[in-house]
Amino acid sequence: MNRWLVFVGVFAGLILAGGVAAQAGPAAKDAGKNAPPTAAEAQKFIEDAEQRLFDLGVKASRAGWVQENFITDDTEQIAAEAGEEANTAAAKYAKEAHRYDVVALPPELARKRLLLELATGFPAPDDPKAQKELAQVLASLDGDYGKGKWCPDGDKKPCLDVTAIEKLMAENRNPEELKRAWIGWHAVGAPMRQRYARMVELGNQGSKELGYADVGALWRSNYDMPPDAFAKEEDRLWDQLRPLYESLHAYVRGQLRKKYGNDLVPEHGPIPAHLLGNIWSQEWNNVYSLMDSPKPAQSYDLSKILQDRHTDAKGMVHYGEAFFISLGFAPLPKTFWERSLFTKPADRDVVCHASAWDVDLKDDLRVKMCIQIREEDFRTIHHELGHNFYQRAYNTQPALFQNSANDGFHEAVGDTIALSVTPEYLKKIGLIDVVHPASGDIDYLLQQALEKVAFLPFGLLVDKWRWEVFSGQVKPEEYNKAWWELRRKYQGIVPPVERTETEFDPGAKYHVPGNVPYARYFLARILQYQFQRALCREAGSTGPLHRCSIYGNKAAGEKLNKMLSLGASKPWPEALETLTGEKQMDATALADYFAPLKTWLDEQNKANHYPVGW
């Protein structure tokens, strides 16, 4: 989902409609010094603010699209100016909205008021000079990431961008070459460090002016609970899943030790980050081929199948669109195919990180993605289109409600669809001829776990690091140290070489310089299995959850659309209940999905004397 729309489609993170925004501090306290406002004044203020933020959000979105697709100094400046205008207005309305906390309003209007109070994702201070500086810092960080390259031979070409380095690390098994690539890409962060620290200062100043302790407290206020309660909720969910992750970690470490030896992979300690097939070690599915799981006779290589069929980038996207059409959704608009970016241009730098856009908050849906013909991108396309169809489903809502129930919902919807990319689904659409028998389920679940379960602690720690940075618990001179302490604690991962404070390794992950909150991805990993369990129940599936695909089921599609069309008009527990009948996020659906694999992993770890923990 693109980050520019934060200005208009504010993330639904409110106390129930009619309540008071969490930590409404000085801005709220000082607002009542004048004559008490009336309901009519509140309505006019909210309606005017909504329209103004809508207009500025579309403008910022268009500027953001151009900047990410044509990275130059000029486009960065244009995006910075549009972002500054939208961010400044959002901060202004957020402060002024507190004046109406004392006014009794109808539920819908009260919810809009509260959404306005959280309408700025990264607030600028109430100072024009600081506002301009923050906008330029944000645009330059985003541009630095998009232009980032590693030149293996120094100044000699060719140089590799992030897409090429991802491919290298996914396919290469030479540890020295992997280490060079890892170091090469992570160098992209170092020049960002000073500007990032300044960005934190400016954002915290703006947050304090809104009555929040810091940016982290503002971000955590977007989840229908106080900020500290949300942090505890994440910890509760992680505690439900940590045993599964630790079993997977022990098995993968043991398997990598068989490949690389004890000198590279220790028996008891953390895993070196460059050996897991991914630049960020966030997902491990690319090292699946090194695992000794029982391979079914009917196993398949989807990447090879797609390549052998000469599937092109648009063909990959058509598969994703067809999935949603099978559920009863209308096809994507013609403009989607005309305006999206599907492949990396040869003549310019672009931000290749996959994202979905609704540029005009009506029907100008797009994706921006440097598609490679491989299984990972096949699943990613289904995910990104989940954003687009969600955006379309709520586009009849008022502007302030045009977002997901919380930001985790937006990610979870796409992930839920990707869960239905099962062998059963692939057979239905003619990509494979035979679905493997139940004897192959462990291998299938392992493939899924290497992506889904391996990601969990990374999804948790990115924002834990930022919350500590925003709060001042971690100082700029300790950025890298704190980053790797969290990665070791939660992931059991260490860098391949010693890192110092001359580096800024968090900057090598798009969402940090891109300033995109990351808790949504952790929540999405939880919610997608709740969604899937409910949709499969609606579809009448009686088999194991990991075998269920809702492809072609109109009843499941109708149930899904009912939740999607709510947008942010209801607090997320109500949206969750609409789809699942449950009001609390629950990790048991994920644990149940992988329960057969957990049993198998424990047996393997015991039989091979693989110690658990690091």
The pLDDT of residue 499:
97
Does the pLDDT at position 120 exceed 80?
A: no
pLDDT surpassing 80 at residue 463: yes
And the tokens for 293? 């799981």
* pLDDT, mean of residues 260-266: 96
* pLDDT surpassing 90 at residue 595: yes
Domain definitions of the chain by residue range: 3-121, 302-435+536-578
HEC-encoded secondary structure of 77-138: HHHHHHHHHHHHHHHHHHHHHHHHCCCCCCHHHHHHHHHHHCCCCCCCCCCHHHHHHHHHHH
Confidence of residue 52 (pLDDT cuts 50, 70, 90): very high
- Find the angle CA(303)-CA(308)-CA(311) to the nearest 5 degrees: 75
Q: Which residues of 79-112 are buried (b: 16+ CB within 10 A; e: fewer)?
A: bbbbbbbbbbbbbbbbbebbbbbebebeeebbbb
Question: At residue 262, does pLDDT exceed 80?
Answer: yes
> What does the block give as tokens for 405?
């129930």
Overall size of the chain counted in residues = 614
Nearest to 278 by CA among 141, 185, 379, 374: 185
Q: Are 27 and 101 in contact (CB under 8 A)?
A: no
Mean pLDDT of 171-195: 97
User: Which residues, other chains included, contact 185 with Cβ-Cβ below 8 Å and sequence gap of 6+?
Assistant: 148, 150, 162, 165, 279, 508
Residue 238 has pLDDT above 60, yes or no: yes
Residue 138 pLDDT more than 80? yes
Residue with more model confidence, 88 or 446: 446
User: What is the β-pairing status of strands 355-358 and 149-150?
Assistant: unpaired
Is pLDDT above 60 for 60? yes
Q: How many Å separate Cα 302 from the centre of its chain?
A: 24
Tens of pLDDT, residues 564-585: 999 999 999 999 999 999 999 9
In the structure encoding, which two tokens stand for residue 454, read together?
A: 């391996």
State the pLDDT at residue 33. 52
Quote the percentage of the chain above a pLDDT of 70: 94
How far is Cα 577 from Cα 449, in angstroms, rounded to an integer?
27
Six-digit token pair at 529? Answer: 């299995």
The whole-number pLDDT of residue 25 equals 42
Q: What is the mean pLDDT of residues 190-204?
A: 97
Q: pLDDT band for position 294 (50/70/90)?
A: confident
Is 118 within 8 Å of 21 (Cβ atoms)?
A: yes
**Structure confidence at residue 298 (pLDDT):** 66
b/e burial code for range 404-417 (CB count within 10 A of at least 16 → b): bbbbbbbbbbbbbb
The mean per-residue pLDDT over the stretch 323-336 comes to 97
Residue 393's pLDDT is 97
CA–CA distance, 557 with 570 (Å, rounded to integer): 20
Of residues 12 and 124, more confidence is placed in 124
DSSP secondary structure, 281-337, as one string:
SS--GGGGGG------TT---HHHHHHHTT--HHHHHHHHHHHHHHTTPPPPPHHHH
For residue 552, pLDDT over 80 is answered with yes
pTM for this one?
A: 0.85
The number of helix segments (H) and strand segments (E) in the chain equals 23, 6
Residue 11 has pLDDT above 60, yes or no: no
User: Is residue 264 pLDDT above 70, yes or no?
Assistant: yes
User: Distance between CA 144 and CA 106 in Å, rounded?
Assistant: 46
DSSP one-letter code for 150: E
Question: Average pLDDT, stretch 494-514?
Answer: 96
Cβ neighbours, 10 Å, residue 258: 12
> What span, in angstroms and rounded, lies between the C-alpha atoms of 180 and 463?
27
